[in-house]
Amino acid sequence: MPLFEAKDLHLRFGDRVVLENISLAFEAGQLSGIMGPNGAGKTTCFNVLTGRYKPNRGQVLWQGDDITGKSPQDIARLGIARSFQLMNLFDEFTVFENIAIALPGTRRRGHDMIARAYADTALVDEAYSILEKVGLAGRADDEAKSLSYGARRALEIGVALACRPKLLFLDEPTAGLGSDGRARLADLILQLKGELTIVIIEHDMEFLFSLADEISVIHWGQVIACGAPAALKANPWVEASNLGRLN
Amino acid sequence: MSLLNLLPHLLNGIALGLLFSLIALGFMLILGLMEQINLAHGSLFALGAYFAYAICGAKLPLPPDVLVAWAGVPLGLRFATAVVVAPILVAPFGIVLERLMRRTYGRDPLYGLLLTFGVAMVLEELIRVVWGTRDYMMPVPRDMSGGFIMLDLIWSTYRFWAAGMAVVAMGAVWFIVERTRFGAMVKAGAHDSEIVQALGIDLTRLRVWVFVLGTMLAAFAGVIMAPLWGIRPHMGVDAVVPAFLIIVLGGVGSFWGAALGGLLVGMVVGLSGAYASEWSMLSMYLLLIAVVTFRARGLFGKKSVLEA
Amino acid sequence: MAAARTVPSFTPAMLVTWILFATVPFWIERVGLYQYLGVEILIFALYALAYNLVLGHAGLPSFGHGAFFGIGAYAFGLAQSNVVPNLWVCLAVAAGAAAIAGAFVALFISHRRGIYYALMTIAFGQIFWFIAIKAHRITGGEDGLLKIERLPASLGITTFNLGSNIALYYFVLAVFAVVSFLLWRLVHSPFGRVVKAIKQNETRARFVGYDVWRYKAAVLVVSTTLSGLAGGLFAMAQTSAFPDVMSLHYSGYVVMMTLVGGGLVSFWGPVIGAVAFFLARDVIGSFTTGWMLWFGLSFVVLVLFKPEGIAGIFSGVMNGRDKIVPRPAAAPQSQAR
């Protein structure tokens, strides 16, 4: 049984069909990629998988349980975290607190109105271990909005990691990064790959092909191809789709 | 209560609703098309009423002999002058307000709300300083006042005049927004100010004109409401709160939503007045909450920056 | 081991505020003011602090908070004559009634934010205000609820008579100190930090697993409860309760106080704002009847040029750090970074 499965998802906005018949399956421990041109429905698909939108039809399964239509917070609590393409941070918090607030340890105490937050050193250590992973430990006390673009990208992933997910969705993590940033990100993802299941939306074919175990190509709101990178390379549809030749 | 007994309440409600719609319209123009909330709308409304009173009652800062001569002019003419001139006199306040608000453009809309709340306080206090706290009655020309009998019931004549004037003003606004180049520019500006600027339209001036139009509508509403509500410093709040509710009820950004929302509120207030006149104003809040609980954006609302 | 990252429970700003207030009865008459003004200021400072929990910390612009203050005031008076004339019971009823009203409102508005939140709170505020005016038999309508007594504060061993303004002042100060301490802790508690996170980014908070609706509802209820408590104290102070504190104007005043003082950036901002508001009323008011004109103008200027308010202007002095990070505590720092 796959860890996470989407069956036959349909989504309409008004009379526009955005997702049509999307089926995906992510095996535990694997790194799966989703690619496709702009406007193909990749991010919308993520939004359905993580609870932002309810599909008009279809099912989302987590470890075999039906979680279709559950709210984002319920899905997050199951151990499914995501990062955003357009960065979505707590801008006035420090880097440390961006991470600390997302830790399940903080969340479990969220209803406590009297205890002091972050008094627990174990929690602080946990936050620092994540900061180290994404390379931001030295900037823990800076406000998130003061960070450079690359550092904000790293924090974006850090916040998702802080949820301690079993499954991590990354929405175009390389967007706007230079080659250095990409290389560092690839290292991080390789490191994470052993620990959790990852799904990445990515434009950069090279980046994705070097990391992913399996790739799905989405176009016109449908999965037009799916398979191991090597197999997909031979598929003429895939390249055409990525270069924007299918319209 | 038979249906015939309800008729006057219903008709009065519709008349009241048209006036509410008118108050809400100026508010709507600024809110829906410029995404700015003008809590001072009520104060501009009140200023219109006070200016109209000053014009009609010949209580202007002018030389005494001019005033005496003016007071000799028939009331009908003075009233007509007030209807036209008072909004023009209030317009500069709107221009100043727009200038102040420029600093809040692009910031959290909350700042616009706070700013105009402060301005509303200032204007209301200004009215108290100039005119005192007492109530004034607005004189109405004899042909428009009094009552008439229809279906064995007595009807207030002025109410119908006021509703008629409201309909005319609303028609004019509809024409401006929907049928002129100016209206088209304003609507485009609401959605994408960059496009408007790229087309070579002077957005700064456009906003001033929208504010002038909105302000004059508020003042105009103030003039024609004055004989019905009386004139007192507090009248601005009495006007802006229903306007607020009507906009939310009708839906932000929808012209017909505002008109319909106003009518609905008027009718609900009118009809509930038939059963429990004490509590009739409460009904409009309950209506709002009922509608908005089930339709988050009101009856005809669109997604807007206000939800951020 | 990283150090715990918390704020201290007591800060210099907190102690300075309490001590300053404690000295007020000794000099307030010498500067030409009067003891009752101190009571009023403290009650509204408490109210503004409670209000700022919603506006400043949660970013929820309530424009109908006067309703909860007023409900507290009426509840205090009604409990006194209908339940039992015991200070603690009456204050608890005041806070409890406002909590229930707040919870009721929260049911309808907790999924909203921004201007729609403001609109809905105006609507609910007007409903409560309207009921207060029209329910003549219960509230006395526009004539108000009169003959509310200043009940004695019994502490088991001893009982304090709060009849005099000075005694009442110190009682209110004690309540103020306790509440401001608890609020300080709340703002820096896990709950407080989550609320602050929601203010900055509701979507992200949801995606890291927080039930945003519940937090927004809870913070409103806490705020209305304390507003009701302040209202109860106010009823006791003026020995009566009137609907005017529930009007849109008064709801706006508390917004003004909070902003003018600098509630958006400083924990103590609302207190400064309440002091500024009443001093403006009495000091400017002694020169001109139109004091609100000048206070309103300065409010407009602040919104335009310095939304951080008075505390923002003197941020160095008034512990402007409040909003920022919990700094590492003084504990030995052997951080494994």
SS3 assignment, position B129: helix
Delimit the domains of chain C by residue range. 34-247
Chain C touching partners, 3 or more CB pairs below 8 A: A, B
Give residues with Cβ within 8 angstroms of C143, minimum separation 6. Answer: none
CB-based contact C304 B122, cutoff 8 Å: no
Residue A228 has a pLDDT of: 86
* CATH annotation of A1-79+165-247: 3.40.50.300
Chain B hits for C108, CB-CB cut-off 8 Å, are: 289, 293
- Take residue C304 and report the two structure tokens written for it: 């335009």
Which pLDDT does position C233 carry in this prediction? 97
Q: Among all residues of chain A, which has the CA nearest to that of C265?
A: A92
Average pLDDT over residues B114-119: 90
What's the pLDDT at A199?
93
Q: Which helix (H) or strand (E) holds B149?
A: strand B147-150
Average pLDDT value for residue range A70-85: 92
CA B104 to chain centre: 23
Question: How far apart, in whole angstroms, are the C-alpha atoms of residue A156 and residue A89?
Answer: 7
Q: Does C206 touch chain A (CB under 8 A)?
A: yes
Judged by a CB distance cut-off of 8 A, whether residue C122 touches chain A is no
Nearest to A102 among C2, C182, C208 (CB): C208
Q: How many CB pairs under 8 A join A and C?
A: 137
B64 falls in which pLDDT band (50, 70, 90)? confident
* Angstrom distance (rounded) from CA A215 to CA A222: 14
Q: Which residue has the higher pLDDT, A93 or A229?
A: A93
User: Is the Cβ–Cβ distance between B167 and B14 less than 8 Å?
Assistant: no
Residues 6 or more apart whose CB falls under 8 angstroms from that of C267 comprise C13, C183, C184, C187, C319, C322, C323
- For residue A170, the distance in angstroms to the closest alpha carbon of chain C comes to 13
Residue C89: both structure tokens together? 């019971």
Residue A43 CA, chain-centre distance (Å), reads: 10
The three-class DSSP label of residue A166 is coil
Binary contact (A110, C191; C-beta < 8 A): yes
Checking if the pLDDT of A208 tops 70, the result is yes
pLDDT in tens, A128-173: 999 999 999 889 999 999 999 989 999 999 999 999 999 999 998 9
CA distance C91 to chain A (A): 21
Average of pLDDT values for A95-109? 94
Helix (H, G, I), strand (E, B) or coil at C241: strand
Mean pLDDT of B259-280: 84
How distant is the Cα of A35 from the closest Cα of chain C, in angstroms?
23
Confidence of residue B303 (pLDDT cuts 50, 70, 90): low
Mean pLDDT by 10 residues, chain C (337 residues): 73 92 94 94 97 94 95 96 93 98 94 83 91 90 90 88 94 97 95 95 94 96 98 96 92 91 90 94 85 89 85 60 39 36
Measured CA to CA, the distance from residue C224 to residue C72 in angstroms comes to 9
With residue A34 as reference, give the H or E element that holds it.
strand A31-35
Across the interface, do A76 and C206 touch by the CB < 8 Å criterion? Answer: yes
Between B285 and B149, whose confidence is greater?
B285
Task: Give me the pLDDT at residue C336, please.
Answer: 36
* Per-residue model confidence (pLDDT) at position B239: 85
- SS3 of residue B150 by DSSP: strand
Q: Where are the domains of chain A?
A: 1-79+165-247, 89-164
Q: Where are the domains of chain B?
A: 3-307
- Whole-number Å distance between alpha carbons of B216 and B214: 6
Q: Does domain B3-307 have CATH number 1.20.950?
A: no
- Average pLDDT of every residue of chain B: 83
pLDDT at B148: 73
**Partner residue opposite C122 with nearest CB, options B109, B244, B308:** B244
- C2, closest residue in chain A (CA to CA): A125
Judged by CB atoms closer than 8 Å, whether chains meet at B122 and C119 is answered as: no
Lowest mean pLDDT among A219-223, B20-24, B186-190, B207-211: B186-190
A65 touches chain C (CB under 8 A): no
Per-residue confidence at B195, pLDDT binned at 50, 70, 90? Answer: low
Q: Do chains C and A touch, with touching meaning 3 or more CB–CB pairs less than 8 Å apart?
A: yes
Q: Which residues of B touch C (CB under 8 A)?
A: 37, 100, 103-104, 108-111, 113-115, 117-119, 121-122, 124-126, 128-129, 237, 241, 244-245, 248, 278-279, 281-282, 285-286, 288-289, 292-293, 296, 306-308
